[in-house]
């Protein structure tokens, strides 16, 4: 099968990828965008987005991504619901393969593969998550299944606070397991958490064990790091909200990354260490990680790609 040739290949479909697609399409780069395994990215598992400028009354995350996609399509972006599984950045054009073994030769590549939820690493955690046994990394996706039940949320960032608040409207009790004596979440989110009578915060606690019976979560065992006290809490749902890791594994042989895997870009640009390969969004940003900053860097990547292709005389 002969390889398909493209001026601008965009990998990923969060705010960064779609913004890159809008700019690249309007610049007539005729981009192809591969959505990856989670079309729409992390905003698909978010409820209200209140801090994206332009949506004055707020917007639901999935609706916002529909809007981004429709805007990219309006200018002709070719959107494909496939996953890029392998890349070879050793020569020009760059070579990329999809999960259906299509080979693509791209003059420029924009990486906007985002980041994915982290797990605690407990023995039965990921199994119970994949079998629907009661462990989840997404309250919005799975909270409904625990209606009228008691659940736990681990983490103390904005995601954990958001998940606890969401669950507090559905579940009877929400136990929030916080490993330190303070939360990392923004003050406004913390205030909302503290106001909810059915959210119980367990400070200085780590989850030791997820208890299960017949493949279903029945409770958790906590260990207090200050007092060494152990507590067993009966819950049927266990939500892990402890941050994310960048989806950059397939690029690691070619691109410079930090120790966590975030792609390193050159100062004031989206350029990576490989000519013609640009990175945007959460795949290269462990500091801001906002939809609006991801969109901003997606725009930068498309402008950088356009200039690069122009300088090379490709477009």
Residues with active-site annotation: 138, 141-142
* Total site size for ligand NDP, rule CB under 6 A: 17
**Of 30-38, 123-131, 143-151, 158-166: span binding ligand NDP (CB under 6 A):** 158-166
Comparison of 30 and 289: residue with beta carbon closer to ligand NDP = 289
Closest of 239, 270, 55 to residue 152, by C-alpha: 239
Comparison of 95 and 245: residue with beta carbon closer to ligand NDP = 245
Contact string 95-134 vs ligand NDP (x = CB under 6 A) = -------------------------x--------------
Among 19, 113, 159, 270, binds ligand NDP (CB under 6 A): 159
221 forms part of the interface with ligand NDP (CB under 6 A): no
Q: Look at the alpha carbons of 147, 150, 152, 157 in this order and tell me if their dihedral is positive or negative.
A: positive
Among 62, 234, 243, 261, binds ligand NDP (CB under 6 A): 243
Rounded distance between C-alpha atoms, residue 176 and residue 281, angstroms: 29
Rounded distance between C-alpha atoms, residue 306 and residue 223, angstroms: 54
Q: Among residue numbers 181 through 200, which ones bind ligand NDP (CB under 6 A)?
A: 184
Token pair 């099968």 is at which residue?
1
Rounded distance between C-alpha atoms, residue 86 and residue 249, angstroms: 10
100 CA to centre of own chain: 24
Q: If residue 129 lies in a helix (H) or strand (E), which one and from where to where?
A: helix 125-130
Binding site for ligand NDP (CB under 6 A): 51, 120, 154-160, 162, 179-180, 184, 242-244, 289
């Amino acid at each position: 099968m002969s390889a398909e040739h493209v001026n601008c290949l965009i990998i990923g479909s969060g705010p960064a990828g779609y913004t890159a697609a809008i700019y690249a399409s309007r610049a007539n780069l005729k981009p192809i965008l591969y959505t990856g395994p989670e079309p729409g990215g992390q905003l698909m598992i978010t409820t209200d987005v209140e801090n994206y400028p332009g949506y004055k009354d707020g917007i639901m995350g999935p609706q916002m991504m529909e809007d981004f996609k429709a805007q990219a399509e309006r200018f002709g972006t070719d959107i494909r619901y496939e996953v890029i599984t392998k890349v070879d950045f050793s020569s020009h054009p760059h070579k990329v393969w999809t999960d259906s073994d299509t080979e693509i030769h791209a003059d420029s590549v924009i990486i906007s593969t985002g980041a994915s939820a982290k797990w605690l690493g407990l023995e039965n955690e990921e199994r119970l998550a994949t079998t629907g046994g009661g462990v989840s990394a997404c309250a919005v996706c799975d909270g409904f299944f625990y209606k009228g039940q008691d659940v736990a949320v681990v983490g103390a960032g904005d995601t954990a606070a958001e998940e606890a608040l969401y669950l507090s409207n559905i579940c009877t009790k929400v136990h929030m397991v916080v490993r330190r004596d303070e939360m990392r979440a923004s003050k406004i989110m913390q205030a909302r958490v503290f106001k909810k009578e059915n959210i119980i915060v367990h400070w200085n606690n780590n989850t030791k064990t997820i208890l299960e019976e017949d493949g279903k979560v029945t409770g958790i065992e906590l260990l207090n790091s200050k007092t060494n006290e152990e507590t067993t809490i009966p819950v049927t749902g266990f939500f892990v909200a402890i941050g994310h890791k960048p989806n950059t594994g397939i690029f690691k042989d070619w691109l410079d990354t930090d120790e966590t895997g975030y792609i390193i870009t050159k100062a004031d640009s989206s350029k990576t260490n490989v000519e013609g390969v640009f990175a945007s969004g959460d795949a290269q940003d462990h500091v801001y990680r906002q939809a609006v900053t991801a969109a901003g860097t997606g725009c930068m990547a498309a402008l950088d790609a356009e200039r690069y292709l122009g300088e090379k005389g490709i477009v």
